Amino acid sequence: MKVKKMLSLILTGAMVLSMTACGGDSGETASNNTEDTNKEAATSVGDLIDSEVVTEDNADELDYTYGEGVTFHSNEPVTYSMMYSDHENYPYQADWLLWSAIEEKTNVTFDLTLIARTDYEDKKSVLINSGDSPYIIPKTYEEGKYVNGGQVVAVSDWVKYMPNYQKCVKDWGIDEYLKTQLQSDGKYYKLPGMWEAAGGGYSFMIRKDIFDAAGVDVTELEKTWTYEDFYEACKKVKEFTGCDYVISDASKGDCLINICAAEYGVNAGWGMGGGLQFDFDNLEFYYADTQDVMKEYLTFLNKMVKDGVLDPESFSQEDDTARAKFFNGETYAMTGNYQNLADYTSKMTDPEAELYMVVAPGGPAGLLQIENSKLENGIMIAQKALDELGEEGFIKMLRFVDWLWYSPEGQMLSLWGVEGETYTMDGENVILNSDISFNGMNPDAEKKLNVDYGFGGGMFAYGGSSWLRTSKMTEGERSFNNRIYEYRVDRPLIPPYMANEEESEELNLISTPLIDATKAWIQKFITGQADIETQWEDYKAELESLGVNTYVTQVNEIFQKNKSKLGY
């Protein structure tokens, strides 16, 4: 054991030496630039989000091929350990074509730690914190809590070795988005999945047949409607059908109140986060949920509940129950994302039912797109990989990751599989083999692309060009996306304030009870257990007693300290 460790240390040392000797030049200049961070936004961001690529002149000495437009291939077979989030709908199979196709192209195999999707976060936390993590840690949404433990690599130091990654960043204008990932040391720790354009996201799925019959023309309305219009439309449906509620939602209401909050410029549900919004004029953060517009927002949602449009059980029932009500025709709208549509359509009890994704209504903050990021979940790399593989081996692994997740070839493989075996190309179009079904295509086919072949799953297939993204969309989904781009404008990204460990700990202690209390009040106001007119001041007083002002002041102080790093 000890001997092995010593040996690997010595090896690492040797490799570091040889690396700096042969090709570190451009890397060094790049990092030097960070010093003279400047007022000018564009350049300082450019410095921070380094999009340089290191090219070595010793490429022919490497035992593998890599690069833009080059397939990564290792001469010797290599195995990398990786966490794998196993999905119950397409459970892991060792004999998937996916694995053999990757091996065939790259000579790489995986040593997987298999974890059920629902427990993935917990086990990830245990493995990383006990220093026992596999090298590659994909499907990470929240990397912040691992940063201080020193068990994950600051990947921003290494992306210069990843040509495909850097190309995506540059070509798709990802730097702005990468900023949101920066930690207090000015580095980032996760290689995010990247899309060329932000996606459609969540919205309302409605029974078009019923809305039409009630005299509501959603296709015309959705172009400019606000939540008040949406309310009127739902009222008509309610009067027409005599239903108890028009909407009974899943996700404990968190999805619905989030997409609505986005249009009011407040925070709720999934988007609660730290409860903060950013004032771009004065460059400071403020607590959104004590503003007057919040009162407007709550009054609106309360009206939805009071008048029998929104089922108060939306906030407590299981997702199953909510869906059952929708499937049985007890309710006529619920939130979801486009991929739910085909699945839900097939489960409707009424064969005449026609489902339609509307563009979500706007609000006081404007007609905004819900989804405002081009980033997806991402990959962390364990420090252990660097320790055990040595710098050279580590870079080799990164280049494999670069190929599989960020090259068009790798993305194509992960999503569609092997040309000739699972799909064929017809000019620009991907034609899935007729005996394979996927994402609403060939619904009657015997085999499924994800279940039987492993492609198109959530581990590898996310991120990519708009062409790739639309390639798997049905006509309806494409139109939904286009309607959003056409009728809605971008929602600005909130910058990070980059608190360090001590600061985060302090902030956490205030924010956890604060957010808990805010959430509780939001729910009480909406469901009518608390009265907005008479208890609004009580609510504000409680938040003040929980330190909302201190919280905002501290955040702003931290932000002032760090804002130059972001180019403000």
Residues 442-471 binding another protein (CB under 8 A) are 450, 456-458, 461-462
- In sequence order, what E strands does 248-338 have? 276-279, 284-287, 333-337
Among 251, 290, 471, 481, binds another protein (CB under 8 A): 251
Q: Which residue's entry shows tokens 């899309």?
A: 195
Does 531 sit near another protein (CB under 8 A)?
no
Q: Which stretch binds another protein (CB under 8 A): 41-49, 66-74, 244-252, 291-299?
A: 244-252
b/e per residue 30-66 (b: at least 16 CB within 10 A): beebeeebeeeeeebbbbbbbbbbbeeeeeeeeebbb
Among 95, 279, 320, 426, binds another protein (CB under 8 A): 320
Does 524 sit near another protein (CB under 8 A)?
yes
Among 15, 324, 441, 445, binds another protein (CB under 8 A): 324
For residue 154, give both structure tokens: 């600051």
Q: How many helices (H) and strands (E) does the chain have?
A: 22, 16
The CB-of-256 to another protein minimum distance in angstroms stands at 12
Mark residues 160-189: x for contact with another protein by CB under 8 A, - for none: ------------------------------
Does 484 sit near another protein (CB under 8 A)?
no
The CB-of-115 to another protein minimum distance in angstroms stands at 8
Among 73, 105, 123, 187, binds another protein (CB under 8 A): 123
Residue 471 near residue 429 (C-beta atoms within 8 A): yes
**H-run or E-run covering 112:** strand 108-116
The arrangement of strands across the sheet holding 191-194 comes to: 108-116, 78-86, 136-140, 375-381, 191-194
Whole-angstrom distance, CA of residue 287 vs CA of residue 235: 33
The CB-of-251 to another protein minimum distance in angstroms stands at 5
Does 541 sit near another protein (CB under 8 A)?
no
Among 46, 65, 87, 105, binds another protein (CB under 8 A): 87
Does 32 sit near another protein (CB under 8 A)?
no
The nearer residue to another protein, 219 or 373, going by C-beta atoms, is 373
Binding residues for another protein restricted to 57-76, rule: CB under 8 A: none
What is the phi/psi pair of residue 55, to 5°?
A: -115, 135
Among 252, 295, 399, 483, binds another protein (CB under 8 A): 252
User: Other C-beta atoms within 10 Å of 240: how many?
Assistant: 15
Does 386 sit near another protein (CB under 8 A)?
no
Q: Which residue's entry shows tokens 């929708």?
A: 326
Residue 401 near residue 136 (C-beta atoms within 8 A): yes
Does 9 sit near another protein (CB under 8 A)?
no
The CB-of-362 to another protein minimum distance in angstroms stands at 21
Whole-angstrom distance, CA of residue 105 vs CA of residue 412: 13
Q: Which stretch binds another protein (CB under 8 A): 2-10, 170-178, 287-295, 502-510?
A: 502-510
Beta strand 429-432 with 73-74 is unpaired
Chain mean position to CA 404: 19
Whole-angstrom distance, CA of residue 434 vs CA of residue 441: 9
Residue 442 near residue 436 (C-beta atoms within 8 A): yes
Does 544 sit near another protein (CB under 8 A)?
no
Among 151, 369, 471, 562, binds another protein (CB under 8 A): 151
The nearer residue to another protein, 320 or 533, going by C-beta atoms, is 320
Does 146 sit near another protein (CB under 8 A)?
yes
Among 34, 424, 482, 508, binds another protein (CB under 8 A): 508
The nearer residue to another protein, 226 or 550, going by C-beta atoms, is 550
Whole-angstrom distance, CA of residue 102 vs CA of residue 106: 6
Among 71, 339, 442, 550, binds another protein (CB under 8 A): 339
Among 14, 20, 28, 145, binds another protein (CB under 8 A): 145
Residue 135 near residue 369 (C-beta atoms within 8 A): no
Does 317 sit near another protein (CB under 8 A)?
yes
